[in-house]
């Protein structure tokens, strides 16, 4: 897994296994088959495609939209939307989700 630091302008597409220590502005998308470990912040929405993985230790100032991937939330997000019946979203007990999670919104 590669690790990057700094500020990245969105839309930002994760098409390799990546740990981000910094900020992604606007939309970020984790492509199928790849993993994002977020220790920083996404200032917009985070989309996780089918077959992708995301672990959030930092913050998403938008919605986490799970289109059939695997998402683990340990930090803070505005909302969670599982948009596929194959989406797996795990919210840790100490994580913070500002809005009620929604399941299978198509």
d(Cα 74, Cα 82) in Å, to the nearest integer?
A: 17
Average of per-residue pLDDT values in the chain: 93
Q: With beta carbons less than 8 A apart as the criterion, state whether 73 and 92 touch.
A: yes
**Whole-number pLDDT of residue 87:** 96
Answer whether residue 99 is part of any domain.
Answer: no
Q: How sure is the predictor about 106, in pLDDT bands with cuts at 50, 70 and 90?
A: very low
Q: What is the dihedral of CA 40, 67, 34, 63, to 10 degrees?
A: -10
Answer whether residue 103 is part of any domain.
Answer: no
* 100 pLDDT above the threshold of 80: no
pTM for this prediction: 0.90
**Whole-number pLDDT of residue 105:** 46
Number of domains present in the structure of the chain: 1
Answer whether residue 100 is part of any domain.
Answer: no
d(Cα 3, Cα 91) in Å, to the nearest integer?
A: 24
Q: The domain containing residue 77 runs over which residues?
A: 2-92
d(Cα 16, Cα 87) in Å, to the nearest integer?
A: 20
Answer whether residue 81 is part of any domain.
Answer: yes
Answer whether residue 88 is part of any domain.
Answer: yes
d(Cα 53, Cα 75) in Å, to the nearest integer?
A: 16
Answer whether residue 101 is part of any domain.
Answer: no
């Amino acid at each position: 897994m590669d690790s990057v630091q700094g500020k990245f302008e969105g839309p930002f597409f994760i098409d390799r296994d990546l740990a981000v220590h910094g900020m992604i502005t606007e939309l970020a998308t984790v492509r199928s088959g790849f993993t994002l470990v977020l220790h920083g912040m996404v200032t917009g929405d985070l989309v996780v495609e089918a077959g992708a993985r995301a672990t959030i230790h930092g913050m998403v100032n938008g919605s986490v939209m799970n289109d059939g991937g695997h998402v683990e939330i340990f930090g803070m997000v505005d909302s969670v939307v599982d948009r596929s019946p194959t989406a797996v979203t795990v919210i840790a007990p100490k994580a913070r989700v500002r809005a009620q999670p929604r399941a299978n919104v198509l």
